Amino acid sequence: MKLIKENTLSPELPDFFQEFTKPTKANAGIPDVSRRDFFKISGIAGGGLVIGMAIGNSPKAKAQGSELSTLSPYVQIQTNGRVNLFSKNPECGQGIKTGLPLIIAEELDCAWEDVDVVQADIDATRYGVQFAGGSLSTPMNWMAMRQAGATARAMILTAASQQLDIPVSELSTSNTKVQHAASGREWSYGEFAELAATIPVPDPSSLTLKSFDQFKLLGRRFTGVDNYDIVQGKPLFGADTQMEGMLYATYTKSAQIGGRARSFNEDHIKAMPGVVDAFIIDEVGNPKGFNTATGDMFSGVAIVAESTWAAIKAKRELEIDWDLSNAETATWDDLVDQARAIQHSDGEPLMMLAGGPGASIPTDNPASKGDAEAVMESADQVLSAFYEYPYVSHAQLEPETCTALYENGSIEIWAPAQIPQGGESSAAALLGVPQEEAAERVVLHQTRIGGGFGRKLANDFVSEVTAIAQRMEGIPIKLQWTREDDMSGDFFRPGGFHSYKAALDGQGNLVAWQDHFMTSTMNDVTPMTSADLNASVFPMDVIDNVKLTQTMFKNAIPTGPMRAPASNAFAFTFQGFMHELAVASGKSHVEFLMDTLGEPGLANPENPGSMHTGRAANVISEVARISGYEQDDNEAGRAKGLSFYFCHSGYVAQVADVSVSANKEVKVHKVWAVADFGFIHNLSGAENQMEGGIIDGISQLFNSKITFENGIIQQQNFHQYPLLRMPQTPELEIAFLQPEEFSPTGAGEPSMPPVLAAVTNAIYNATGERIRKLPLYELGYKLV
Amino acid sequence: MATLNINGQTMDIGEIDPSTPLLWVLRDELGLVGTKYGCGIAQCGACTVHLDGAPVRSCQIPVGNLSEQQITTIEGLAADGTLTPVQEAWIEIDVPQCGYCQAGQIMSATALLNTNSNPSDAEIDAAMSGNICRCATYTRIRQAIKNAAAKMNGTAFYNAAEGGELA
């Protein structure tokens, strides 16, 4: 039997995830999957088996009072044989609403066509943490979903045995049916659903999970469970929430980030057609800092109107007097000047941060190791290079929107939120709801998310609608940000700078690495969110002599995680410089990477979540093979480029085939990608993430740049921040290596980073021009 | 009282500010929320509907400019409960990721195939270049349009089952 080994996830949960996983008012902690009492059974109206994960009673379930919410299960088997599977995490395009139920269905041994998928409501006591981020939804839930399915199957079998008076050992299951081989008979699960609901929950240790080669569903391609509704325009998204008597709101904040509204042309605005009310909301907390659960929000002016259009029209006529005493004054070009001025000097020694990316406290442990300076003194070759990249906006297509009804001290919210439990915490904090009452007084329903990419990890828009709904008690309020609100009010991917130096020995081997990393801070202690460098980035994780220093520029332009935080920029800088070194080494690019990776094994033997050099080597050699990268077929103006990156436990190598014309028009003809995300359980979903990641990366590479002047964001909409369109889309070829001993890791984030350097390395191979600065349009390149 | 012809029905929209874009009339007044707001300046195509069969950006059409035109929204494509070949192909190819832009994509694709039953890659690119997909499902959209065309023309089409069937 082939076993599937649990992958060890890396890195650890970043702070902004840990923040809401701590036991809080709405969160009783993370259920322990091994606990005997983890599964709770209840009967449902009409009969049937319900299996949910419940620890104690859920006050929220009582508060909601409806049939599904009361039970909040993973599995319902109805007497008619239909199976309801509940998907716990938010769906933002990563395919989790299809992916998690598929895992349950596999172990439950049901036919996929017998399954209806239901989006679970938010309930930490039953579902543990529910969020969409870190490419963690699949790996964190893989085993729990299998156990949920296997538990239900075991109970059906026990019930069938009792009902039929046939020993369990003579029964088997397939396609939502119990089968008895000896007699050739079979019965629908539905026939045993009612009795199964009375069967004691089996101990998880008594369950036999399927082996890899017994999977019937997992590993195939499945179309998304919401696709039938999506293609008909059915209401699914946060923006689609409609309620009787609902009013529509806009919220206008200071263009100079952090301004506080003092007064506005209230009489004029309130007299405009369709306007119901308009008012100032004060700043709460420290809204420039990325926050998911604390209710921090910027000051602004809310307009509540009878239609979205009336609210937008009035918004356009707002004249607001801002107190700018605490507003941002940073200018991007100034940061660039400061960084360039110090590129030839060292910064402060970089310290390891506690708790992984996004962590808050530098430790006493320096991130440097070995003696890079000494090695460079005696090295055969020393190369240096300065890389820079700008701030970038998420630009998810659904601008922030949220609906809420506040009544009698309680609030009900419908939110397209990547951390919906943080949305509840935010609302509770803003409303002053004490911890012990939060579960009953703050209820959030998760909707489908019209694109997340990390933007909707922040719950500022949930906080805003909470504050507006509180003021408009008894009336459902839908808050709609405009695209301009979104683009100028983002938690941006931070810009940054790397001044690299690296040494090669006489054999062209990489022997020392140095990086002076330049980033931003609002507190002089830690970098802004997702603006930190850690020492585990390849190749620093596999070489012995690394010197890391850091300079932090003081500003508080809001930043936050964006698809593959940090990696989305580091893959360009690190793998661009690695290609420079490969060229200098005299070896082929692939040979240089292989020699740097060395013997197969963990980069850090003490950390099972660290990069495995053997898995890295496998994706590199496979992408080189399928793309013909090692064939010497580059020609003037057309060449291939390669890049590799490891992040979110995923290994991805990509090759781009690129033409560059005399006037710098770039055509990306094709991109090959080979990934190792462990076992792929929905092939279509994984391919979708890889296809999207590659095109997302190319789009950012050429066109994405957010700038600020005196704290004012300069880009407002897609005419100033263009996204890649269909004519610029390359052909894609995707392959997954699936070592059988590894369970699945996430695909959404690691799919994206390598392609930027694959394209820039290809441009170098085609033209000899080395690209060390993004985006490419600023260097005169145009993607065609 | 003003009326609009939407999805084959005459719909009252009451007394309404004539500057209101069709997009917001559909979404807020008529509850047809399948048509999406993405940018408000005709850059993203999420709000695409058909006006007398032609794809238009509903965020740019003041409702006061409309009278007798036939408006079709995403909700009107399968009004009789039967999916169109374009909608079927979208499901078979598993096009959507987040899905927010797909109503607009499907309306643009449907308009293309209504006037050109066998479009080339270049014609597909041209017809679809006004629609942004931030999740970047472009390669699948292209394939789905080809599959839909093949279905409509009764010719063979790419089968996702190659290397693994799509359930």
Of B100, B131, B138, the CB nearest to A729: B138
Q: Which of A398, A121, A86, A129 is nearest to A238 (CA)?
A: A398
Average pLDDT of the residues in A664-688? 97
Q: Which of A146, A192, A162, A198 is nearest to A41 (CA)?
A: A198
Average pLDDT of the residues in A203-228? 94
Residue B164 lies in a domain: no
Range of weakest confidence among A38-42, A342-346, A410-414: A38-42
pLDDT at B158: 61
The total of other beta-carbon atoms located within 10 Å of residue B11's CB is: 16
Of A227, A398, A717, the CB nearest to B90: A227
The domain made up of A238-325+414-435+444-480 has a fold known as: Aldehyde Oxidoreductase; domain 3 (3.90.1170)
Average pLDDT of the residues in A617-634? 93
B137 and A309 within 8 Å at the Cβ level: the answer is no
Shortest distance, CA B68 to any CA of chain A (angstroms): 23
Of B94, B124, B134, the CB nearest to A396: B134
pLDDT at A59: 29
Q: Which of A94, A186, A22, A69 is nearest to A685 (CA)?
A: A94
> Within an 8 Å CB–CB cutoff, is residue A414 touching chain B?
no
The pLDDT of residue A666 is above 60:
yes
**A7-21, A744-758, B148-162 — which one is most confidently predicted on average?**
A744-758
**pLDDT class for A53, splitting at 50, 70, 90?**
very low
The pLDDT of residue A646 is above 90:
yes
DSSP string, A279-293: EEE--BS-TTS--SS
A233 and B32 within 8 Å at the Cβ level: the answer is yes
Using a CB-CB distance cutoff of 8 angstroms, which residues of chain B are in contact with residue A694?
136
Shortest distance, CA B125 to any CA of chain A (angstroms): 5
B43 and A480 within 8 Å at the Cβ level: the answer is no
pLDDT at A357: 47
**pLDDT class for A64, splitting at 50, 70, 90?**
very low
Rounded distance between C-alpha atoms, residue A377 and residue A360, angstroms? 35
Average pLDDT of the residues in A634-657? 95
Range of weakest confidence among A187-196, A281-290, A546-555, A630-639: A630-639
Using a CB-CB distance cutoff of 8 angstroms, which residues of chain A are in contact with residue B61?
none
Residue B163 lies in a domain: no
pLDDT at A23: 33
The pLDDT of residue B33 is above 90:
yes
> Within an 8 Å CB–CB cutoff, is residue A727 touching chain B?
yes
Of B41, B92, B125, the CB nearest to A727: B125
Of A95, A234, A718, the CB nearest to B132: A718
**pLDDT class for A52, splitting at 50, 70, 90?**
very low
Residue B30 lies in a domain: yes
Contact A745, A543 (CB under 8 A): no
B138 and A273 within 8 Å at the Cβ level: the answer is no
pLDDT at A661: 97
CATH code where residue B16 lies: 3.10.20.30
B41 and A310 within 8 Å at the Cβ level: the answer is no
> Within an 8 Å CB–CB cutoff, is residue A220 touching chain B?
yes
Where in the sequence is the domain holding B54, given as residue range(s)? 2-77
Residue of higher predicted confidence among A68 and A354 = A354
pLDDT at A34: 29
Average pLDDT of the residues in B53-69? 97
**pLDDT class for A42, splitting at 50, 70, 90?**
very low
Q: Which A residues in the span 437-496 are in contact with B, Cβ-Cβ below 8 Å?
A: 448-453, 480, 482-483
Contact A739, A622 (CB under 8 A): no
Contact A753, A647 (CB under 8 A): yes
B98 and A723 within 8 Å at the Cβ level: the answer is no
Average pLDDT of the residues in B58-66? 97
Average pLDDT of the residues in A492-496? 98
DSSP string, B52-116: TTEEEEGGG-BGGG-SS-EEE-HHHHTTTSPPPHHHHHHHHTT--SS-TTHHHHHHHHHHHHHH-
Buried/exposed code over A154-172 (b: 16+ C-beta within 10 A; e: otherwise): bbbbbbbbeebebeeeebe
Average pLDDT of the residues in A379-397? 98
Kindly state whether residues B147 and B89 are assigned to the same domain. Answer: yes
Name the pairing type of β-strands A171-174 and A362-366: unpaired
The reply to whether CATH 3.40.50.150 applies to domain A15-230 is no
The pLDDT of residue A356 is above 70:
no
Rounded distance between C-alpha atoms, residue A40 and residue A225, angstroms? 26
Contact A235, B106 (CB under 8 A): no
Q: What percent of chain A has pLDDT over 90?
A: 83
Kindly state whether residues B73 and B11 are assigned to the same domain. Answer: yes
**pLDDT class for A199, splitting at 50, 70, 90?**
confident
The pLDDT of residue A31 is above 60:
no
The pLDDT of residue A81 is above 60:
yes
Cβ-proximal residues to A423 (8 Å cutoff; 6+ apart), any chain: A293, A413, A415, A417, A444, A459, A462
Residue of higher predicted confidence among A35 and A388 = A388
Kindly state whether residues B72 and B136 are assigned to the same domain. Answer: no
Domain ranges of chain A: 15-230, 238-325+414-435+444-480, 342-393+492-783
Q: Which B residues in the span 110-139 are in contact with A, Cβ-Cβ below 8 Å?
A: 124-126, 128-129, 131-139
Residue of A nearest to B106 (CA): A231
**pLDDT class for A10, splitting at 50, 70, 90?**
very low
Phi, psi of B113 (to 5 degrees): -70, -25
Residue B68 lies in a domain: yes
Q: What is the pLDDT of residues A554-566, one digit of tens each?
A: 999 999 999 999 9
pLDDT at A123: 87
Of B20, B41, B77, the CB nearest to A309: B20
The pLDDT of residue A582 is above 60:
yes
CATH code where residue B113 lies: 1.10.150.120
Q: Which B residues in the span 48-87 are in contact with A, Cβ-Cβ below 8 Å?
A: 73-75, 77-78, 83, 87
The domain made up of A342-393+492-783 has a fold known as: Aldehyde Oxidoreductase; domain 4 (3.30.365)
pLDDT at A35: 27
pLDDT at A70: 23
**pLDDT class for B1, splitting at 50, 70, 90?**
low
> Within an 8 Å CB–CB cutoff, is residue A734 touching chain B?
no
- Provide the domain count of chain B: 2
Q: What percent of chain A has pLDDT over 70?
A: 90
pLDDT at A391: 98
Rounded distance between C-alpha atoms, residue A669 and residue A733, angstroms? 11
Which amino acid does the sequence have at A577? F
Kindly state whether residues B91 and B72 are assigned to the same domain. Answer: no
Contact B59, B47 (CB under 8 A): yes
B39 and A222 within 8 Å at the Cβ level: the answer is no
pLDDT at A2: 36
Of B93, B98, B165, the CB nearest to A451: B98
In the predicted model, what is the mean pLDDT of chain A?
Answer: 90
The question of ipTM being above 0.95 is answered as yes
Using a CB-CB distance cutoff of 8 angstroms, which residues of chain A are in contact with residue B24?
307-309
A239 and B75 within 8 Å at the Cβ level: the answer is no
A220 and B31 within 8 Å at the Cβ level: the answer is no
List helix spans (H) across A628-667. Answer: none
In degrees, to the nearest 5, what angle opens at C-alpha A536 toward C-alphas A534 and A537? 90
pLDDT at A44: 36
Kindly state whether residues B130 and B100 are assigned to the same domain. Answer: yes
Of B98, B141, B166, the CB nearest to A92: B98
A232 and B134 within 8 Å at the Cβ level: the answer is no
Q: Which A residues in the span 232-291 are in contact with B, Cβ-Cβ below 8 Å?
A: 232-237, 239-240, 242, 248, 273-274
The pLDDT of residue A473 is above 50:
yes
Domain closes at, from B77, B98, B120: B77
